[in-house]
Structure 1
């Protein structure tokens, strides 16, 4: 058994990473820069080139790369077939053009300055890729994911992610050229094994994953769902690594296979915390890998090459988008987001070195160039964005905004109450998203044709993942009044522009919801009981109009009492009375009559209780 000292040895580096993130990220955000830049700067500071708190950055690179793996899984989760099909022109057209032109220009420059043909291809492709994590993080911070330039940026990033697999297979083929005759055959054999592994992942995702998650969801153990999500993501990643492809490719495929799953948003919420922490660690590892001694020795070269690389990639993307009918503003903003070298440069360049395409010094200089571009890119994007906004004005930013449908409604809870609510919306063809943690209710909602997702609606991360901030109305229809109140408070705090309608259980719950600023609440049995009473009045001889007048009178009296209790009475009474007892809205003409001795005792005891209530509804 390990002693205390061996356990304690893990603590200094963990505390160092945490301290670096806690200090650097808020500082850079305060300066108006991206969190990514804060992580990179923290890595440089604690790495071997400055303070040398962490002496071996490579020791944590394997763990840190899991952050990129999880990021690609989350990217895959966003790619439902319908959305992927609608983006096909941008993905294939813009993505292929950006990748081809950028790689050709960078590769030619590398060949001109002395790289071999294979090395020039490796460097060109490695630096042509963009930092998915940086671009998506900046889009998230700006809230521009639904902007036209945001969608087109994502399309290009998606093509790059898809292109990683053939690129990883290409480098060994380049290295095999001119070698012994068996090398190309071995490379082609490895490619065949990789394709077989891809087919296996697709088959498992299509036929096995949803049934497995359904069984786990029925077990009711949330932590098991998290463990299963990590098992699938990391398992697919490990399989891809064993057949010679990238771990991120396996995770991306696993995400795509689950993109149409009802469990998609629950998985996204479970994975997100791990992704955020490990991706931050990855950026710190990139910063730590920057060899400042090498940078100083090649200061002039890197000082010229890094800005030229960033500006060249901006020019390529901006030109492509302008040709494809984007505005100048959109084209420049997208180009700035895609200007830094990507995370996979740190995978492709060592692979090029291992296959003999690059000399060690060449690989080190290009790796430093990639890292510097990741430091420089977010700064350029921020400066360019500020300059464009100052010149053109914020109004231009909204001209091409593809807003959400005004009829978008999110329903949390698809039980007996939520099902009735959605029937009226369904008749008017309102776009509805349903969230429920009950597998059977999810199946029921699927029959209605709604967007249905398995997840806990009381969790903020689930709501965000399901698009709560984009909804026009959120209907809280869950069958737990505490959960309903927590969800309301959370939605009002995090999504203040969204209108909230809530199901109330009883009078106390209704007033609690009102205190929490609900936009509309309805006690679940109130209107149905009034209608029941109206029919009963008709049955004892009243006309329909007479019965309606009586029911309207009851409704008005109850509303008046609710208003009084909301402003004056109920808050104080809640501290004194354990429950709300029913109280008539008008003074009864007759006295109560007990038909048995037991009933008489109950009535007499009840007379001593303090009554604070309205129409019916004792607290349950």
Structure 2
């Protein structure tokens, strides 16, 4: 019997992955994301249409959750503690306010339609949660994870993942299975175990895991580091699940701990193939939840489409207003809100628990489940085009006098052409900036330090916050339409990364770079730099000029 079940599930996995691959390639050919192909594959081969898969969608989804854990693990590996500090508290405050106001607004609508308070709170909780897996996948594909709206969106999504526990406790309380005091004790206990989990994983990640990775690297065995990377990710996810938290949250924290280790990039490369397989399986299993016969009966389809449209528009409006209240720039607020305009995978967990306790009917759950699939199908379009959509919406709102004209810090760069991009605003970058302004050229500056970005904004410069080594940041700065790129970073490795990205995106771009030492010149030239200025040569020239002037008895020029 066990052999038959294993064979059935193995065949179902092959069917799902095969269908997802074929439809994913088709979607990519016509300009859509492969995520849409995976979702449609689940709908097609699932119980709603062809019934080619015998495994229950929920069972398949549990296996596919490994993909979500691996995705969040790789994202955590990219966020060193120094970069994480640049996210600030704005995203955290935005996440809390977004959840609270989304629940409040949704509950108000449900009450107006005649629903009870318990039902209103449950529906609001389901709609408040967005899809971490979908949004993170598209932001990664678009190289916008480190953009301003990418940072805000990911901060909010992490807060939403943390909010799953108190929301499930609220459902338990509404189901009258426990008293308020019991829920309060349970919530306090969960908070205690969360603190213990975070402290424990940080200690192990800082003191133990790097040594283990170092030992495996010295053995010369190529397979051991891969196995160890998977064990690290899945162990953290499993412990988080045992403590009642999201497995993806545990994997994310494990990635954060290892982000500053020298093995971070190698670990990320090792787990990427596994992430691709399991994440595709995850999206396909979500598509299997669609009950197509029910959807096509009567007016159900129109109801679901209306609910999905209301959810998308409502979440954009609520999140956008919350971000504007937090004084986040208009275009970034709208782009971040577009990234959060869907119902997430963890909403199904809340809905299932509420249905079991008869807080919502099966019909309401089916409507929300079907609407969530439609919102997930829109993720690649809304998130992938968030920058373009937000720029046009800002222009429209300014025209209607509902928003002030954005200043230089936030103005759209979409129409700039033949401009200069300056990477880095340190002392060398400031000198280049002043020289360019004297010549009448106002560059677009890319800088990672938020404090420096604010200072440049107050000085009315065009500035983009982010890592220029990421293609999405360069595209946002208009690299494909720029005349030149000037890289003033002191770190040669970082400069090489920026130059390679820029050269791939704009083959004809004129690129100039700074080199600390002459021995590094060839690295920058090989990466694609047209002009390399070496500090050693320049310092020697200046020292020679100064000393000659001194020897002649003349005061050196300032």
Question: TM-score range with shorter-chain normalisation?
Answer: 0.5 to 0.7
Indicate the residue corresponding to 2:216 in structure 1: 216
Give the alignment's TM-score, normalised by structure 1.
0.61
Indicate the residue corresponding to 1:105 in structure 2: 105
Largest Rg, 1 or 2? 1
Asked if the contact 1:318–1:334 (Cα under 8 Å) also holds between the matched residues in 2, the reply is yes
State yes or no: 1:254 paired with 2:317. Answer: no
Change over 3 Å in CA distance of 1:70–1:176 after alignment to 2: farther
Equivalent residue pairs, number: 439
Tell me, in whole angstroms, the C-alpha distance in 1 between the residues paired with 2:48 and 2:305. Answer: 18
For 1:386-535, what aligned pairs fall within 5 Å after superposition?
395=414, 400-402=463-465, 404=467, 430-433=490-493, 470-472=497-499
Indicate the residue corresponding to 1:315 in structure 2: 317
Change over 3 Å in CA distance of 1:222–1:46 after alignment to 2: same
Tell me, in whole angstroms, the C-alpha distance in 1 between the residues paired with 2:170 and 2:159. Answer: 16
Change over 3 Å in CA distance of 1:49–1:212 after alignment to 2: same
Change over 3 Å in CA distance of 1:267–1:499 after alignment to 2: farther
The alpha-carbon deviation at position 59 of structure 1 amounts to 2.9
Asked if the contact 1:122–1:348 (Cα under 8 Å) also holds between the matched residues in 2, the reply is yes
The alpha-carbon deviation at position 389 of structure 1 amounts to 6.3
Tell me, in whole angstroms, the C-alpha distance in 2 between the residues paired with 1:367 and 1:274. Answer: 28
Change over 3 Å in CA distance of 1:248–1:284 after alignment to 2: same
Q: Which secondary structure does the structure 2 equivalent of 1:88 belong to? A: coil
State yes or no: 1:29 paired with 2:56. Answer: no
Change over 3 Å in CA distance of 1:195–1:382 after alignment to 2: closer
The alpha-carbon deviation at position 115 of structure 1 amounts to 4.7
Q: Which secondary structure does the structure 2 equivalent of 1:278 belong to? A: helix
The alpha-carbon deviation at position 356 of structure 1 amounts to 4.9
Q: Which has the higher contact order (CA 8 A, sep 6+)?
A: 2
Change over 3 Å in CA distance of 1:271–1:469 after alignment to 2: farther
Q: Which moved more, 1:166-175 or 1:225-234?
A: 166-175
For 1:81-96, what aligned pairs fall within 5 Å after superposition?
81-96=81-96
Q: Which moved more, 1:246-255 or 1:167-176?
A: 167-176
The alpha-carbon deviation at position 42 of structure 1 amounts to 1.5
Indicate the residue corresponding to 1:524 in structure 2: none
Asked if the contact 1:49–1:290 (Cα under 8 Å) also holds between the matched residues in 2, the reply is yes
Tell me, in whole angstroms, the C-alpha distance in 1 between the residues paired with 2:504 and 2:6. Answer: 41
Indicate the residue corresponding to 1:47 in structure 2: 46
Q: Which secondary structure does the structure 2 equivalent of 1:471 belong to? A: helix
Change over 3 Å in CA distance of 1:429–1:295 after alignment to 2: closer
Q: Which secondary structure does the structure 2 equivalent of 1:358 belong to? A: coil
Asked if the contact 2:324–2:330 (Cα under 8 Å) also holds between the matched residues in 1, the reply is yes
Change over 3 Å in CA distance of 1:347–1:66 after alignment to 2: farther
Q: Which secondary structure does the structure 2 equivalent of 1:401 belong to? A: strand
Asked if the contact 2:500–2:527 (Cα under 8 Å) also holds between the matched residues in 1, the reply is no
For 1:171-186, what aligned pairs fall within 5 Å after superposition?
171-176=171-176, 179=179
Indicate the residue corresponding to 1:601 in structure 2: none
Asked if the contact 1:46–1:54 (Cα under 8 Å) also holds between the matched residues in 2, the reply is yes
The alpha-carbon deviation at position 73 of structure 1 amounts to 1.8
The alpha-carbon deviation at position 91 of structure 1 amounts to 2.0
The alpha-carbon deviation at position 274 of structure 1 amounts to 1.3
Change over 3 Å in CA distance of 1:153–1:468 after alignment to 2: farther
Aligned match for 1:358, one of 357, 360, 369: 360
Tell me, in whole angstroms, the C-alpha distance in 2 between the residues paired with 1:257 and 1:183. Answer: 31
Asked if the contact 2:169–2:183 (Cα under 8 Å) also holds between the matched residues in 1, the reply is no
Q: Which secondary structure does the structure 1 equivalent of 2:245 belong to? A: coil
Change over 3 Å in CA distance of 1:128–1:390 after alignment to 2: closer
Asked if the contact 2:173–2:180 (Cα under 8 Å) also holds between the matched residues in 1, the reply is no
Change over 3 Å in CA distance of 1:492–1:84 after alignment to 2: closer
Tell me, in whole angstroms, the C-alpha distance in 1 between the residues paired with 2:231 and 2:125. Answer: 31
Indicate the residue corresponding to 1:65 in structure 2: 65
Asked if the contact 1:118–1:174 (Cα under 8 Å) also holds between the matched residues in 2, the reply is yes
For 1:230-269, what aligned pairs fall within 5 Å after superposition?
230-269=230-269
The alpha-carbon deviation at position 82 of structure 1 amounts to 2.3
Q: Which secondary structure does the structure 2 equivalent of 1:48 belong to? A: coil
State yes or no: 1:302 paired with 2:362. Answer: no
Q: Which moved more, 1:27-36 or 1:352-361?
A: 352-361
Indicate the residue corresponding to 1:275 in structure 2: 275
State yes or no: 1:339 paired with 2:341. Answer: yes
Question: Once the two structures are superposed, what CA deviation does each residue of 1:103-154 show, in whole Å capped at 9, x if it has no partner?
Answer: 2222333344455434433332222122222222332333333433233223
Asked if the contact 1:164–1:249 (Cα under 8 Å) also holds between the matched residues in 2, the reply is no
The alpha-carbon deviation at position 492 of structure 1 amounts to 8.7
Tell me, in whole angstroms, the C-alpha distance in 1 between the residues paired with 2:239 and 2:5. Answer: 31
The alpha-carbon deviation at position 284 of structure 1 amounts to 0.7
Tell me, in whole angstroms, the C-alpha distance in 2 between the residues paired with 1:518 and 1:383. Answer: 30
Question: Once the two structures are superposed, what CA deviation does each residue of 1:291-318 show, in whole Å capped at 9, x if it has no partner?
Answer: 1233235333212111010011111222
Indicate the residue corresponding to 1:415 in structure 2: none
Asked if the contact 1:168–1:245 (Cα under 8 Å) also holds between the matched residues in 2, the reply is no
Tell me, in whole angstroms, the C-alpha distance in 2 between the residues paired with 1:215 and 1:39. Answer: 39
Indicate the residue corresponding to 1:584 in structure 2: none
Give the alignment's TM-score, normalised by structure 2.
0.67
Tell me, in whole angstroms, the C-alpha distance in 2 between the residues paired with 1:213 and 1:342. Answer: 35
Asked if the contact 2:68–2:248 (Cα under 8 Å) also holds between the matched residues in 1, the reply is yes
The alpha-carbon deviation at position 267 of structure 1 amounts to 1.4
Please give the root-mean-square deviation of Cα atoms over the aligned residues, in Å. Answer: 4.0
Q: Which moved more, 1:123-132 or 1:358-367?
A: 358-367
Tell me, in whole angstroms, the C-alpha distance in 1 between the residues paired with 2:81 and 2:21. Answer: 39
Asked if the contact 2:24–2:38 (Cα under 8 Å) also holds between the matched residues in 1, the reply is yes
Indicate the residue corresponding to 1:549 in structure 2: none
Change over 3 Å in CA distance of 1:518–1:186 after alignment to 2: closer
Change over 3 Å in CA distance of 1:110–1:469 after alignment to 2: farther
The alpha-carbon deviation at position 400 of structure 1 amounts to 4.5
Asked if the contact 2:102–2:318 (Cα under 8 Å) also holds between the matched residues in 1, the reply is yes
Indicate the residue corresponding to 1:77 in structure 2: 77
Tell me, in whole angstroms, the C-alpha distance in 1 between the residues paired with 2:198 and 2:217. Answer: 27
Asked if the contact 2:295–2:301 (Cα under 8 Å) also holds between the matched residues in 1, the reply is yes
Change over 3 Å in CA distance of 1:492–1:111 after alignment to 2: same
Asked if the contact 2:342–2:376 (Cα under 8 Å) also holds between the matched residues in 1, the reply is yes
Q: Which secondary structure does the structure 2 equivalent of 1:260 belong to? A: coil
State yes or no: 1:369 paired with 2:384. Answer: no
Change over 3 Å in CA distance of 1:291–1:17 after alignment to 2: same
The alpha-carbon deviation at position 101 of structure 1 amounts to 1.7
Change over 3 Å in CA distance of 1:190–1:153 after alignment to 2: closer
Tell me, in whole angstroms, the C-alpha distance in 2 between the residues paired with 1:62 and 1:378. Answer: 23
